[in-house]
Structure 1
Amino acid sequence: MALRVAMIGSASAGRVARCRASFLIGSNYLRSLVGGSGGGAKYDVAAEGGGAGASGEGSKHWPVEIRHQKAEKAIEIEFENGKRFRYPAELLRVESPSADNQRVTASGERRVVAGRRQVSIVSLEPVGNYGLRIVFDDLHDTGIYNWNFLYELGDDKIARIRSYLHRLPGSLKVSSLMLESALHGSWQLCGFQQSGSLRERAQMMPFLFLEAKAADGIEMTSTISQQSQEDCKKCKEKGNDSEGIDEGDVLESEQLDDEEEEEGKEGQLVVRQHLLVKGEQQRVQRVCDIRKYGAVGDGLLYDTEAIQRAIDDCATYGGTVLVPSPKTFLTATLHLRSHVTLHVEQGATILGGHRLDDFPRSRDRWYVVLAENTTGVRITGRGTIDGQAHRFVIRERPEKHVMVSWNETGQCTGPECRPRLIGFLDSVDVLIRDVQLHEPAYWCVHLVRCNGARIVNVSIFGDFNIPNNDGIDVDGSNNTLIEFCRIDTGDDAICPKSTRGPVFNLTAHNCWLRSKSSAVKLGSGSEHNFHGLRFHDLTVVDSHRGLAIQLRDEGDVVDVEFKNIRMSTQYYHPSWWGRAEPIYITSVPRNKRTTKVGRIRDVRFINVTAHSENGIFISGSQGSWIDSLTFCNVSIAIDRWTDFPGGWQDYRPGDYRGLVRHKTVGLFADYVATMALRGVRIVWGNNKQPDWGQTLEITPRRVLKLGLSDVTLLDVVEEHPGNVQRGL
């Protein structure tokens, strides 16, 4: 028997493979499938011997061909009996036979591995003659896939996928109707030229949802009623093409363009939707133009009552509240209701009030737009929601403005006592899409104990000199997606917190971030756990800190990945937390009253490039050691171009150590149990500074295990202060 192994597609994972060099030791019968410089490389490897012996003792089945389809993120295996199975990378990852995957929860259920939709296979490695070790780009490599397991997985793929989708938590769970309809082809979608909202929901769904529809010859064909066909014909006459349901489609419509409109009662516009599901009737959704309810839109008179009437009226049956252009509508707090879409047209502005009386009595509800205990609320359109932050400035200063504080209310103390812009509290199925969010006086978007929130293609512009105007704060919320956003603000750009509950399954990708604090920061509010957070394909520009984990309380941080990130970080005035660190990880007590600090473990930095005025800073503390850090393909170039003072280590927030005098270090590590550096490069630039110190500083006896592979650490030679460098 000849065992043929082939790789199909480009060598795009080559950089990740380089980090795995120490694990990819060659074999006589199965070569690593990752390597080489060109795309489309193909390898054929013959097995020694033949027959059942090639499968390992006790194997009922054995492969005759294995093909790695890198572009499709899948492998195909043909077995000795002629059966051929295709395995998506996500399926292999979530069904991994590793001990970690097989753990059970306190309730006795098997652990669910979520958030692996984008996972890729880095390499396949032989294990004896009975199976494979599969290395994934999330660095999971402990599963041994024997031939019998792979055969059964392929033969039972649909049932396995169905079981996995039903076991997913929260809003990622796929309903029986959705799954069964998809598997048996009973859905038809008609009437949307662009089903943008459906594709957005698909970003939250596992790729396996689509696999369930397409695998083993199941197709999305459907017979629809004569009425449905007539409706589709109307759509096509209007220039809309009929589409099949995309992965993760939902039984609702949010697209208002190019839909059939008819005049309803009291002059209100009625939109007839053409989303047809077998056995369901058409649904009618209202569009409530706030001008019909008395809104003026001159930016001077308050339109709060008129807009709120439109919201409450539309909430009766669900609908869209239209904020028309080119008007500016001044308002106090607006309360959104379930199944209502607030659609702000391009050129229209919702202008938040600046008086204390414009907001509810409780500080927890100081928002310009507030949704509490809601389901299915949307904020859409290309218009603007503006918090008028400049009205809260007491005194402008070049380093940081002095702001109004409403602490006389007794609701809060200190300077952080101002209204936020948008808040979702205890809500499910949230969507914020396409809007422009300007000048938040305090936090811009605040998600509190929400499930299934999506923030898509949103632009946030905050004054760079205003403190505490965070871009997106995710507090105690789960299954959150942030994508294609641009955030340019003074304080943290994306900031998960766990003060109100645990934070699970957060994904942020393809975003542009700029901050005078941290571009991405976990914490410092960390009373509960963080688990399963993914930050991929980010661009960070001119930020004070790049990627930060600030653990100060008893919650743990587990399974966090930063991947494919380019950034520049620089010094700003020391009144802002941070000292230009591209990567910053601390686990220290908040203050002397803190009795327990959680643990940070299993944090991965993959394909990260930074141009910075400082190096990587990692510090745990006694009783809170940091464990299982991985740096893979990380390149840091240190130089100086600002005039702010260097030579400090920053343990803020909290009074643990504050600012500590210390030389600038390429990578500093203290209280770290295990850390691996693979393909790491740290270099120093031309503008040598008196405060520059060592490239690598490891505290003796407080870094227990350090793994090095393909590491380049360069230091400036004293007698040649230019660009001459030597290896350490």
Structure 2
Amino acid sequence: MTFKTRFVKIALATFGFFNAEAQNPAEYSWTNLPKIQQPVFNKDTVRITTFGAVPDGHTLNTQAINRAIDACSRKGGGVVLVSPGLWITGPIAMKSNVNLHLSEAATLLFTTDKSQYAITEGFYEGKSAARNQSPISGINLENVAITGKGIVDGNGDVWRAVHRSQLTESRWKEKIESGGVLKDDGKTWYPSEQFKKASVENKSMLLTPGKSPKDFEDIKDFLRPNLIVFNNCKKVLLEGVTFQNSAAWCIHPLMCQDLTIRNVRVKNPEYAHNGDGMDIESCKNFLIEGCTLDVGDDAICIKSGKDEEGRKRGIPTENGVIRNNIVYNGHGGFVVGSEMSGGARNIFVQNCTFMGTDKGLRFKSVRGRGGVVEKIYAKDIYMKDIAQEAIFFDLYYFVKFATDGERDMRPVVNEGTPVFRDMQFENIVCNGATKGVFVRGLPEMPVSNIRMENMVLSADTGIELTDSDQIRFKNVKLITQKTKPVVFIENSSKISFDGLQYNDHSETLISVNGERSQDISLQNTDLSKAQKAKEFLKGAQEKSLIIHSGK
């Protein structure tokens, strides 16, 4: 064991990174998936019309809907029925033992009158923040659901800024004519002067010590609400409903247990800033299945708090099953991070299709986050027309490198060091991407112990690994437009390829770079298809690569 390895292990133990199994003794596998408890409701039904709700697309039904929910909960729970119609409403507060059921052709359309939304204590990207009240919310509840075949529409366009480049000329003209104000350069539309001022001056919405929600009235317009927030709830079900046009994130369960999201549709415009589909944050035991997403940011995203605040919370997102979902647009199909300071583990992703997303399987973090992401399993993942990388790890999220491309090489491991390790991906097909696999860890904490098997990746370029350790590829076929090189490795160790297939007449098969590269092996691979099988650059030594005979 090298000094560096001993140092890293001691540091990890010091900061508690080896305590995950002690806290979570359950062992899960594809044959022993996490179990998720479902909510159970009384059969009693309460109609919102009984309390005076009117589906005329004009009447504000906030009080009627909330009275119906409250009455149902006080009687022991049951179904609150929203029948067909266009129901205008302000914020809805869910209650325990209530299933809010939207009939087919029923739409809950949230009012554009921002005075109806109180400024409350909430969270923004994993930190305590002032937010406008969410259109639908619940805190400290048990047995709660939103079901049916109706639509929940957050009217998000009245809350969002948009850049001219994101819209067609005709839609840009419509946006200007709708009201709002323009940035001084005329290239960004804001919903109000207040929003513009807060954005241009980079105002913070974080609830720092001494700050309360009432201190943010001067930037109220800027505090975009998430569409649905369930906080510290148990046995939550979202099923069948279409959730769309959120001002910020769409579905945000926070610190919930036994969460099921089944057969829902999530839709946001491509230009929706922070228009995530689902952000599962610090939740335990969850199932996401049969869902279709078409959104403006990450689609299905795993989070657990940000930086020191997230580490102090110390609640990982764990024990999840994500299967049979389709993502049509988004920054990532399945995503972990970047706010993952509480960690994530025991998550199984299966039978998902990503079509036209920026990235496919996306893992992101940065120095200062901390947290351990481990035991993530993905299989039977099918991708088409991925704009960037099919499989992506980057621990330099939003870091701007110097013009020479050099990274900060400080070998410091502390509580803010993110750890991504122990994952397995298999049966992955991608038809179209800029890069098949991209992994970039930290010099002091490489991305480690990732196994990728049985993959066919058609992309402009093949595989790029930097600061990676114990990455194993088996039965991987790379169909690439650029073949110089097919595989690029820099300052990585214990990298193995078994049964690698690649294009005939490739210029260079494998390029090893950096003096820290070592223990790289290649076997069961036909080297004769490459004009040059190997090269060593930037201080890499020939002994770092072992090619096993046979082909």
| Fold shared per TM-score above 0.5 | yes
**Of 479, 488, 491, which residue of structure 2 is paired with 1:697?**
488
Tell me which residue corresponds to 2:79. 320
Tell me which residue corresponds to 1:620. 441
**2:365 equivalent to 1:587:** no
Q: What residue identity is the alignment partner of 1:357?
A: S
| Cα-to-partner distance string for 1:281-301 (whole Å, 9 max, x where unaligned) | xxx642110001011122222
**Of 490, 501, 517, which residue of structure 2 is paired with 1:712?**
501
**Alpha-carbon distance between aligned partners in 2 of 1:108 and 1:564, rounded to the nearest angstrom:** 31
Structure 1's unaligned 5+ residue stretches are: 1-103, 120-171, 173-203, 206-247, 255-283, 572-579, 640-664, 719-724
Tell me which residue corresponds to 2:28. 114
Give the % identical residues: 24
Pairing 1:345-424 to 2, within 5 Å after superposition? 345-362=103-120, 364=122, 366-395=133-162, 397-399=164-166, 404=191, 405=195, 407=198, 411=205, 417-424=223-230
Query: Given the superposition, is the C-alpha separation of residues 555 and 567 from structure 1 closer, same or farther in structure 2, using an over 3 Å criterion?
Result: same
**Alpha-carbon distance between aligned partners in 1 of 2:495 and 2:161, rounded to the nearest angstrom:** 50
**Alpha-carbon distance between aligned partners in 1 of 2:391 and 2:273, rounded to the nearest angstrom:** 21
Tell me which residue corresponds to 2:544. none
- Asked if the contact 1:286–1:320 (Cα under 8 Å) also holds between the matched residues in 2, the reply is yes
Query: Given the superposition, is the C-alpha separation of residues 508 and 416 from structure 1 closer, same or farther in structure 2, using an over 3 Å criterion?
Result: farther
Query: Given the superposition, is the C-alpha separation of residues 585 and 110 from structure 1 closer, same or farther in structure 2, using an over 3 Å criterion?
Result: closer
Give SS of 2:301's match: strand
Query: Given the superposition, is the C-alpha separation of residues 564 and 329 from structure 1 closer, same or farther in structure 2, using an over 3 Å criterion?
Result: same
Tell me which residue corresponds to 2:54. 296
**Alpha-carbon distance between aligned partners in 1 of 2:139 and 2:475, rounded to the nearest angstrom:** 47
**Of 94, 98, 119, which residue of structure 2 is paired with 1:336?**
94
- Asked if the contact 2:89–2:111 (Cα under 8 Å) also holds between the matched residues in 1, the reply is yes
**Of 342, 350, 372, which residue of structure 2 is paired with 1:556?**
372
Q: What residue identity is the alignment partner of 1:451?
A: Q
Say what the alpha-carbon RMSD is for the aligned residues: 3.0
**Of 516, 522, 526, which residue of structure 1 is paired with 2:336?**
522
**2:483 equivalent to 1:669:** no
**Of 435, 439, 461, which residue of structure 1 is paired with 2:241?**
435
**Alpha-carbon distance between aligned partners in 1 of 2:390 and 2:21, rounded to the nearest angstrom:** 40
Q: What residue identity is the alignment partner of 1:562?
A: A
Shift of 1:462: 1.1
**Alpha-carbon distance between aligned partners in 1 of 2:349 and 2:220, rounded to the nearest angstrom:** 32
Shift of 1:253: 4.8
Q: What residue identity is the alignment partner of 2:421?
A: R
Shift of 1:614: 1.3
Tell me which residue corresponds to 2:457. 636
Tell me which residue corresponds to 1:94. none
Q: What residue identity is the alignment partner of 2:417?
A: V
> How many residues get paired?
422
**Alpha-carbon distance between aligned partners in 1 of 2:204 and 2:398, rounded to the nearest angstrom:** 24
Query: Given the superposition, is the C-alpha separation of residues 304 and 360 from structure 1 closer, same or farther in structure 2, using an over 3 Å criterion?
Result: same
**Alpha-carbon distance between aligned partners in 2 of 1:335 and 1:511, rounded to the nearest angstrom:** 28
Query: Given the superposition, is the C-alpha separation of residues 428 and 403 from structure 1 closer, same or farther in structure 2, using an over 3 Å criterion?
Result: farther
| Cα-to-partner distance string for 1:649-700 (whole Å, 9 max, x where unaligned) | xxxxxxxxxxxxxxxx411001111111100111124xx6xxx74210011x
Give SS of 2:371's match: coil
Shift of 1:388: 1.3
Query: Given the superposition, is the C-alpha separation of residues 554 and 675 from structure 1 closer, same or farther in structure 2, using an over 3 Å criterion?
Result: same
| Cα-to-partner distance string for 1:417-465 (whole Å, 9 max, x where unaligned) | 4111111100000000000112112111001000000000001111122
Give SS of 2:44's match: strand
**2:423 equivalent to 1:603:** yes
**Alpha-carbon distance between aligned partners in 1 of 2:352 and 2:190, rounded to the nearest angstrom:** 31
**Alpha-carbon distance between aligned partners in 2 of 1:716 and 1:494, rounded to the nearest angstrom:** 39
**Alpha-carbon distance between aligned partners in 2 of 1:523 and 1:110, rounded to the nearest angstrom:** 21
**Alpha-carbon distance between aligned partners in 1 of 2:82 and 2:26, rounded to the nearest angstrom:** 42
Query: Given the superposition, is the C-alpha separation of residues 354 and 110 from structure 1 closer, same or farther in structure 2, using an over 3 Å criterion?
Result: closer
**Alpha-carbon distance between aligned partners in 2 of 1:107 and 1:684, rounded to the nearest angstrom:** 40
Shift of 1:382: 0.3
Tell me which residue corresponds to 1:425. 231
- Asked if the contact 1:493–1:519 (Cα under 8 Å) also holds between the matched residues in 2, the reply is yes
Query: Given the superposition, is the C-alpha separation of residues 402 and 524 from structure 1 closer, same or farther in structure 2, using an over 3 Å criterion?
Result: farther
Pairing 1:93-112 to 2, within 5 Å after superposition? 111-112=25-26
Shift of 1:403: 5.5
**Of 349, 365, 375, which residue of structure 2 is paired with 1:535?**
349
Query: Given the superposition, is the C-alpha separation of residues 607 and 415 from structure 1 closer, same or farther in structure 2, using an over 3 Å criterion?
Result: farther
**Alpha-carbon distance between aligned partners in 2 of 1:569 and 1:597, rounded to the nearest angstrom:** 33
| Cα-to-partner distance string for 1:259-310 (whole Å, 9 max, x where unaligned) | xxxxxxxxxxxxxxxxxxxxxxxxx642110001011122222100000000
Q: What residue identity is the alignment partner of 2:329?
A: S
Give SS of 1:367's match: coil
**Of 477, 480, 486, which residue of structure 2 is paired with 1:681?**
477
Query: Given the superposition, is the C-alpha separation of residues 512 and 290 from structure 1 closer, same or farther in structure 2, using an over 3 Å criterion?
Result: same
**Alpha-carbon distance between aligned partners in 2 of 1:110 and 1:474, rounded to the nearest angstrom:** 19
Give SS of 1:314's match: helix
Q: What residue identity is the alignment partner of 2:118?
A: P
Tell me which residue corresponds to 2:255. 449
| Cα-to-partner distance string for 1:598-644 (whole Å, 9 max, x where unaligned) | 211111110000122311110001222111111100111124xxxxx
Give SS of 2:324's match: strand
- Asked if the contact 2:484–2:506 (Cα under 8 Å) also holds between the matched residues in 1, the reply is no
Q: What residue identity is the alignment partner of 1:381?
A: G
Give SS of 1:528's match: coil
Shift of 1:356: 2.9
**Alpha-carbon distance between aligned partners in 2 of 1:468 and 1:370, rounded to the nearest angstrom:** 18
| Cα-to-partner distance string for 1:470-492 (whole Å, 9 max, x where unaligned) | 11000111111000000111111
**2:68 equivalent to 1:310:** yes
Query: Given the superposition, is the C-alpha separation of residues 107 and 390 from structure 1 closer, same or farther in structure 2, using an over 3 Å criterion?
Result: closer
Give SS of 1:307's match: helix
Query: Comparing 587-596 with 316-325, which one deviates more in the overlay?
Result: 587-596
**Alpha-carbon distance between aligned partners in 2 of 1:475 and 1:338, rounded to the nearest angstrom:** 20
Structure 2's unaligned 5+ residue stretches are: 1-17, 123-130, 168-187, 207-218, 400-407, 508-527, 534-551
Q: Which structure has the larger Rg?
A: 1
Tell me which residue corresponds to 1:463. 269
Query: Given the superposition, is the C-alpha separation of residues 288 and 708 from structure 1 closer, same or farther in structure 2, using an over 3 Å criterion?
Result: same
**Of 377, 384, 393, which residue of structure 2 is paired with 1:568?**
384
TM-score by length of 1: 0.54
**Alpha-carbon distance between aligned partners in 2 of 1:546 and 1:110, rounded to the nearest angstrom:** 28
**Alpha-carbon distance between aligned partners in 1 of 2:109 and 2:56, rounded to the nearest angstrom:** 10
**Alpha-carbon distance between aligned partners in 1 of 2:438 and 2:221, rounded to the nearest angstrom:** 29
**Alpha-carbon distance between aligned partners in 1 of 2:352 and 2:320, rounded to the nearest angstrom:** 14
- Asked if the contact 1:684–1:716 (Cα under 8 Å) also holds between the matched residues in 2, the reply is no
- Asked if the contact 1:288–1:310 (Cα under 8 Å) also holds between the matched residues in 2, the reply is yes
Query: Comparing 592-601 with 297-306, which one deviates more in the overlay?
Result: 592-601
**Alpha-carbon distance between aligned partners in 1 of 2:72 and 2:221, rounded to the nearest angstrom:** 38
Shift of 1:410: 6.3
- Asked if the contact 2:87–2:107 (Cα under 8 Å) also holds between the matched residues in 1, the reply is yes
- Asked if the contact 2:105–2:151 (Cα under 8 Å) also holds between the matched residues in 1, the reply is yes
Shift of 1:568: 1.9
Query: Comparing 415-424 with 362-371, which one deviates more in the overlay?
Result: 415-424
| Cα-to-partner distance string for 1:297-331 (whole Å, 9 max, x where unaligned) | 22222100000000100001111111111x11111
Identify the structure with the greater strand proportion. 2
Shift of 1:513: 0.6
**Alpha-carbon distance between aligned partners in 1 of 2:289 and 2:350, rounded to the nearest angstrom:** 10
**Alpha-carbon distance between aligned partners in 1 of 2:222 and 2:418, rounded to the nearest angstrom:** 26
**Alpha-carbon distance between aligned partners in 2 of 1:309 and 1:440, rounded to the nearest angstrom:** 24
